[in-house]
A and B are shown apart, each in its own frame.
Chain A
Amino acid sequence: MLIKSFSEHGFHHAEMNQDNQDAVYYGNNKNFTVISLADGVSECLQSRTGAEIASRASTNLLLKHGDLFMELDNQKIAQIVISHVLYELRYIADQESKKIEDYSSTLACVLLDKRRNKILCMNLGDAIILASDPGNCKVLTMPYDSSEGCCVTTTYNAYLATVVNFFDTSSIDSVVICSDGAWKQMFQKNKLKYEVFALIAASKYDVLEQFLRRQKCFDDFSFISLDMKQSRKGKAA
C-alpha cells in the first residue's frame, strides 16, 4: 500500500503570512487503510487546527470501525462521521474558549477495505476524489458547487450535504483526494487536462506533485493518494 501526500502553501496565504490550511492524514491496519484531506476555511481563526482535527478524527474513526462503516447506509455514515468530528471540534473549542465555527473545514475521506476489495468515499465540501482505472482516470466524487458558499464541518446538518459512495476496487489502481486549490490546476473547465489525466491514469503521483509545483496556485494545494497496485502485486505473488 503506497500512500503519498503533498501539501503546499498557495501564494495568497504565503503573502499574508498565514499557515497552509489544508491538512492530510492517513492510517493503516491489517484490514483497512484510510486517507483523508481537510481544507480549513480561511476566514475562520482556527481553521488550520480544525482541518487537522477533522482529518485525524475521521481517519481514526473510519479505521477503528471499518467493518461497521462497510455495512451502514450512506446517510448514516455521513451522520456518524460528521458528528464525531463535531464532537472533537467542540471539545477543543471548549478547551480553548473559542467558537466551534472557528474550526470549520471541508472533509474528504477514503476508506479501503482490503478484504472486501471495496472503497468508501466520503466528501463534504469542494475537494474531489479521483481514481486510476488502468489507462483511464475517473471522478469518484465531485466537488460541491461552492459558488455561493460551501458546506463545511460546522454547517447545520452538514451530513445532508455529504456525498458517500462505495466502489469496487477490482478495477481501480489508485485513488487520490485533491483539495480545490489542487484540482483547479488540474482541470480545464470541466475536463481533466490531458497531461494530468495521463499521470493519474498511470498512478504517477510523484510527477503529479512536480506538475502542481510548476503551477502558480493562489490557494493552498494538496493531495493524498493511495496506490493499491502494490498490495495487489504482493497478494498475487
Chain B
Amino acid sequence: MKGTITRRLDSVIDNLQSEFQTLYCKGDFIAKMEALKLAGNQSDRPSKLKKLFEMFDACEIKYERGMSNEYYEKLIAKSALPSFKDLEDKMLIKLYSIYERYPTPTEYMTRIVNRLSDPDDHWEDDSLQLRILKQFIKYGDYLSSAGYNGRKFITDYAKDKISSKSLDSKTDVVRIIAALDDEIFKALDTASSDQKSPEGKFGLLKIADDLALGKFHTEGSTKKQLYLFAMAYGMTYYSGADDTKIDAETDIEINLFRDYYTNNLMRFISDVYKGKLDEYELDPSGQGINYKNFAEMIYLYYISQKFTPREKIAKSSAMIEKIKKERRQQGSEPSIQDNGTETYRNLFSEEILNKSEAEFEEFIKQNYDCDTFQGNYSRGVLQLGTTQNSAFKVYSELLERLRELIKEKEKDIPEKSRMTLENCNYGLWFTDVAAFWKYGCESICERNPEIEREKFAEFMELLLAMNNFLGYAVKEDESTKSGEQERAELSTIKTKTLYASESTVTRSSIIVAFYYYYNALHEKDGQDKWKNFGELFNEYKRVLNPELAKAYYQPLSGRNIFDLLVVFSSYAYLNM
C-alpha cells in the first residue's frame, strides 16, 4: 500500500520539474515549429511532431494529427498563448506555490523525531525542543560523555518544579523528564554565549534548541550535533554491505546530510541577505559525510555497531579524545598526507566496520590526519580534512571552460566591451529583481488575490537573496553617475561564488559556475530554445550530475529549491 499518490509529482524527488510542463509560451511553440520545419521530411520529424502534440495537449489546444506545417503554424498563431512576460507572473506564482510546500527546518526535524521516537515514551505532545532534550537525557545520559553540560541545571529545574530535594540525575531520570516543560528554554534568552557553549551551564539546552530550529554553526559544531542526534535516535549508516539497504527512515546521510543541507542552504541564503550571518557558517558545502575526517569516521563506526545510544555516544567521544590527546603528545611529527576523498571513501568499507574497537582505533591512527595542533594553531576535530581537492578541481575546470568559452565568443568584440568572468554577475534571469527591489511585490499580489502577501514577500526576499548569491542586481535608485560609469562599476562587481578556494568551494559554487557556463554555451545556438523547462532540467542533470558526482556532492534534485531556481533562471535566460 502506498500512502501517497502517483501524479502528485511535486512531492516526488526529481520530478518537480513536471510542474512546469504546461508553462509554454507562444515563443516555445514558435521555436518548436521552427525545429519541425528544419527537420523537413527527415527521420526526426515524427519525434518533433510528437513533442509539438504534447505541448498542444498540455495547453489543451485541440488539433488534428497528420496535417501540414502551415496548419500547425496557423493554429499556433490563432491560439491565445501567453507571452513570456505573462509567463513570468505564472512562473513566479508556480514557484511560490512550490516554495510554500517546502518544509521549514522545524517541520522537517519534527518529522524525523516523530519517526524515530519510541512511542512508549509518550512525548508526542511536547514541543520539538523538549522532545529532543528528553531524548538526549534518557538515551544519551545528558550527552555528558560528549562534553555537554546541563545535567545540574536540568536536575535543579526538575527539583524546583516538583518541590523535591532528592532527585538524582542518574537514578531519577524518569521523574526528571516528567517534570520538564518548555519554560526551561527561557534560560537561553538571557544566557551569555559562554553559558550557551557545550561546556556552559545551558550547553544541553542549546543543542536541543539549535537542532529543533535547524540552526547551524561554525567550526564543525553542527556536524557534531548531528552525529550525536543520530546516535541518540538510533539512526543508521549504509556501508554498502551485501545484506543492507538504505533505510530511508533512519539513514543518516539521507535525513541529516542531504535534507538538512537542502533546508539550511536556503536559510543560509536568506540569512546572508538579511545580514544575519554572524554566528552561522558560510554556505553549507553540500558534501555530507567527510570521509577524510577521523572523528566523523569514528562516529560512523559507532553508529554502525550494536551498542546502546548511550554507549555509542560515550565510546565515540572517548575514542576521539584519546586519539586527539595521543597525537598531541607525539608533537610535531609530520601529519598523514591527504590522499584525496576518493581514497578515503574506498578505504572506509564494510570490512572496517567489522573490526574490533582496538583494531579500528589503530586503523584510524594509521590512516587519518588526527593532528588538531598544527603549528601554533589549534583546530576542532571536525575541521580536519576539510579541503576539498576533488571538488575544487571540478570547479576550476568548469571556470576554465567558461573563461575559454567567453574568450572565444568575444574575440571579435573590442576589448573594452568584452564580457569576462568578472562580469558574469547577472544573477537570476526569470524575474526583474531590480523592479521588485524598487516596487515590492504588491502588484503581483493585487493581480492574484489568493496569494498570502506575507508569505509571498518572504519568497520574494528569498529570490532577491538568491539573486545576490548568483550575481548582482542593479538598484534602481537615483544615480549621479553616467551610464558608462555605472556599467564600468557593475562590470567589476564579482559574483562571490565564482571566486571560491579549496576550502570554500561548495556544491552551490559548482552549480553557479555551471549556470554561467551553460548559458554562455547555449545562448545563441538556438538548441535550448527548443527545450521546455522539463527537458532543460533533465539536460542540466545529464551534464552537471557527473561533475557533482566527481566532486562528491549530491546530484541536482527537484527537491532542492535552489537547484530548481537556478535551472529555471537558465530556462528564462535562454528563452528571453
| Residues of A participating in the B interface, judged by any CB pair closer than 8 Å | 10, 12-13, 21, 39, 41-44, 101, 104, 106, 126, 128, 133, 136-139, 142-143, 145-152, 154-157, 160-161, 181, 183, 187, 189-192, 197, 218-220
Q: Is B250 an interface residue (CB 8 A)?
A: yes
The interface residues of chain B lying within 8 Å CB-to-CB of A160 are 14-15, 538
Partner of B6, one of A39, A41, A143, A187: A41
B61 proximal to A (CB < 8 A): no
Assess whether B8 is interfacial by the CB under 8 Å rule: yes
Q: Which of A44, A147, A197 has its CB near the most chain B CB atoms (within 10 A)?
A: A147
Pair B2/A155 contact, Cβ less than 8 Å:
no
Which chain B residues border A138 with CB–CB below 8 Å? 242-243
Q: In the assembly, what is the distance between CA of A161 and CA of B541, in Å?
A: 13
Contact yes or no, A189 B7, CB < 8 A:
no
> Does B321 touch A at the CB level, under 8 Å?
no
Known A136-B243, A148-B559, A219-B1; 18 more pairs at CB < 8 Å: A42-B3, A43-B5, A44-B5, A139-B242, A145-B13, A150-B2, A151-B15, A155-B6, A155-B7, A156-B18, A160-B538, A161-B12, A161-B15, A187-B245, A189-B236, A189-B249, A189-B250, A191-B241
Of A12, A143, A145, A155, which one neighbours B1 at CB under 8 angstroms?
Answer: A12
Docked CA distance A181–B534 (Å): 33
Q: How far is the CA of A44 from the CA of B5 in the complex (A)?
A: 8
Closest-by-CB residue of B relative to A145 is: B248
The B interface is mostly helix, strand or loop, or mixed, namely loop
Cβ 8 A contact of A191, one of B234, B244, B254, B538: B244
- Residues A152 and B6 in contact, CB atoms below 8 Å apart: yes
Chain B 536-561 per-residue mask, 1 if CB under 8 angstroms from chain A, else 0: 00100000000000000000000100
Q: A41-B2, A150-B4, A220-B1 are in contact. Are A187 and B9 (CB under 8 A)?
A: no
User: Does A190 contact B246, Cβ atoms closer than 8 Å?
Assistant: yes
Contacts of A106 in B (CB 8 A): 2
Q: A156-B18, A189-B236, A197-B243 are in contact. Are A147 and B5 (CB under 8 A)?
A: no
Chain A contacts for B9, CB-based, 8 A = 155-156
Interface centre among B2, B14, B242 (most CB of A within 10 A): B2
A101→B6 contact, CB < 8 A: yes
The 16 sampled A-B contact pairs (Cβ below 8 Å) are A41-B2, A43-B5, A137-B242, A138-B242, A139-B242, A145-B246, A146-B2, A147-B248, A149-B2, A152-B6, A157-B538, A160-B14, A160-B538, A189-B247, A190-B251, A219-B1
- Residues of the B chain whose Cβ atoms lie less than 8 Å from the Cβ of A189: 234, 236, 247, 249-250
B21 in the interface, Cβ–Cβ < 8 Å? yes
Contacts of A148 in B (CB 8 A): 4, 11-13, 559
Closest chain A residue, CB of each to CB of B247 = A190
Cα A190 to Cα B244 in complex, Å, equals 5
Residues of B within 8 A of A218 (CB): 1
B238 within 8 A of A: yes
Whether the pair B2, A191 counts as a contact (CB closer than 8 A) is no
B2 pairs with A13, CB closer than 8 A = no
Q: Majority SS of interface residues in chain A?
A: loop
How far apart sit A39 and B1, CA to CA, in the bound complex (Å)? Answer: 7
Bound CA–CA A181/B5 (angstroms): 17
B245 x A139 contact (CB < 8 A): yes
Chain B, range 244-293, C-beta contacts under 8 Å to A: 244-251, 254
A147's nearest neighbour on chain B, judged by CB, is B248
Q: Which of B9, B13, B236, B238 has the most CB of A within 10 A?
A: B13
Bound: A55/B71 CA distance, A:
42
Q: If the complex has contacts A42-B1, A155-B12, are A145 and B254 also in contact, measured as CB distance less than 8 A?
A: yes
Rounded to whole Å, the gap between the CB of A92 and the closest CB of chain B is: 16
Asked if B246 contacts A149 (CB within 8 A), the reply is: no
Residues in B with CB closer than 8 Å to A145 are 13, 246, 248, 254
- B contact residues around A146 at 8 Å (CB): 2, 4, 248
Instruction: Select from chain B the residue with minimum beta-carbon distance to A200.
Output: B243
Please indicate which of the listed interface residues A10, A151, A219 has the most CB atoms of chain B within 10 Å of its own CB: A151
**Residues on A with beta carbons closer than 8 Å to the beta carbon of B11:** 148-149
Q: Do A161 and B14 touch (CB < 8 A)?
A: yes
Question: Are the C-beta atoms of A181 and B1 separated by less than 8 Å?
Answer: yes
Whether A191 pairs with B21 at a CB distance below 8 angstroms is no
Within 8 A of A (CB), among B1-42: 1-9, 11-15, 18, 21
CA distance A154 to B4 in the complex (A): 13
A136 to B242, CA, bound (A): 8
- A13-B1, A137-B243, A156-B21 known; A190+B250 contact, CB < 8 A: yes
Contact residues in B for A157 (Cβ distance below 8 Å)? 15, 18, 534, 538
Which residues of chain A have C-beta atoms less than 8 A from B559's C-beta?
A: 148
Q: Hey, which chain A residues are within 8 Å of B236, CB to CB? A: 189-191
Q: Nearest chain-A residue to B10 (Cβ)?
A: A149
Identity of the chain B residue whose Cβ is nearest the Cβ of A218 in the assembled complex:
B1
Which residues of chain A have C-beta atoms less than 8 A from B5's C-beta?
A: 41, 43-44, 101, 104, 149
Chain B contacts of A155 at CB under 8 A? 6-7, 9, 12, 15
Q: How far is the CA of A157 from the CA of B7 in the complex (A)?
A: 10
Question: Least Cβ distance of A82 to chain B in Å?
Answer: 13
Instruction: Say yes or no: B246 contacts A142, CB within 8 Å.
Output: yes
Query: Among residues 430 to 481 in chain B, which have CB atoms less than 8 Å away from a CB atom of chain A?
Result: none
Question: A42, B2: Cβ atoms under 8 Å?
Answer: yes
CB distance from A62 to the nearest CB of B (A): 23
> Hey, what's the 0/1 contact readout for B474-502 against A, CB within 8 Å counting as 1?
00000000000000000000000000000
- Specify the chain B residue showing the minimal Cβ separation from A128: B245
User: Contact at A101–B248, with CB atoms within 8 Å?
Assistant: no
With known contacts A10-B1, A145-B248, A150-B2, A133–B18 Cβ distance under 8 A: no
A90 to B534, CA, bound (A): 23
Bound CA span A126–B12, Å: 13
Chain B neighbourhood of A151, CB < 8 A: 12, 15
Chain A nearest CB from B17 CB (Å) reads 9
The CA of A149 and the CA of B8, in the complex, are separated in Å by: 8
> CB-CB < 8 A to B254: which residues of A?
145
Q: Known interface pairs A181-B1, A190-B236, A220-B1. Does A154 touch B7 (Cβ–Cβ under 8 Å)?
A: yes
